[in-house]
Amino acid sequence: MPSLLYQPPVTLPQLQARPGAVVAVRRARVDDVPRLYELINYYAARGDMLPKTMDQLYNRVRTFNVADAEGEVVGCAALHITWADLAEVVSLAVHPDFQGHGLGRRLVEPLFDEARGLGIHTLFTLTLQVGFFSRLGFREVPKLRLPHKIWQDCATCFKQDRCDEIAMVREV
């Protein structure tokens, strides 16, 4: 059960942009943080991902790509470096009205190039969306194969003792 101190949004605000709008993928800006907060924590409230605080998002805004539909953030994904040769794809979220149109792929694929450019050769994710990440070239691995350092976020996760996420890796 999530902490009583943490109150994520249970619904997303109404969008101005509509499905079918032109969507561009770009680097996140500071003014995107409130929307990132709403989007990520909408899915966190459903148990689909870890919640993020505004402080965490402001501190990590440079790690995010966003899907921008005519000035409105409708998706996000970030690359979190965990060690010299390892990074995690985190906080992948697409607004429900914009799912099924390849936005997830468009948000994650640039992270492959970014990792390569940083000299990182292995990406991983902990996910409930195995099919999606399999189509992007990730493969399932035992969680214990991943270094102990990656479990920092798990210490505060409400699913800590009953984690249902699948570990997946991809070489880039």
Total number of domains constituting the chain: 1
84 within a domain of the structure (yes/no): yes
Q: What whole-number distance in Å separates Cα of residue 172 and Cα of residue 165?
A: 22
2 within a domain of the structure (yes/no): no
3-state secondary structure of 103: helix
- 31 closest CA partner among 77, 72, 70: 72
Looking at per-residue pLDDT, the higher value among 144 and 168 belongs to: 168
Looking at per-residue pLDDT, the higher value among 68 and 145 belongs to: 68
Render pLDDT for 80-139 as a digit per residue (tens, 0 to 9).
999 889 999 999 999 999 999 999 999 999 999 999 999 999 999 999 999 999 999 999
54 within a domain of the structure (yes/no): yes
- 153 falls in which pLDDT band (50, 70, 90)? low
- pLDDT value of position 149: 61
- pLDDT value of position 37: 95
11 within a domain of the structure (yes/no): no
Q: What whole-number distance in Å separates Cα of residue 156 and Cα of residue 165?
A: 15
14 within a domain of the structure (yes/no): no
130 class by beta-carbon count within 10 Å (0-12 exposed, 13-18 middle, 19+ buried) = middle
3-state secondary structure of 87: strand
Complete DSSP assignment for 3-29: -TT----SSPPPPSS-TTS-EEEEE--
Q: What whole-number distance in Å separates Cα of residue 77 and Cα of residue 67?
A: 9
Domain span holding position 160: 23-171
The answer on pLDDT for 4 being more than 60 is no
- 108 closest CA partner among 17, 35, 164, 25: 25
Q: What whole-number distance in Å separates Cα of residue 138 and Cα of residue 41?
A: 25
Calculate ∠ Cα 107-72-78, nearest 5°: 30
Looking at per-residue pLDDT, the higher value among 86 and 19 belongs to: 86
- Residue 144 backbone phi and psi in degrees, to 5: -70, -10
8 within a domain of the structure (yes/no): no
- pLDDT value of position 21: 84
CATH number of the domain that residue 157 is part of: 3.40.630.30
At which residue do the structure tokens 């409708």 appear?
74
- pLDDT value of position 139: 98
37 within a domain of the structure (yes/no): yes
108 within a domain of the structure (yes/no): yes
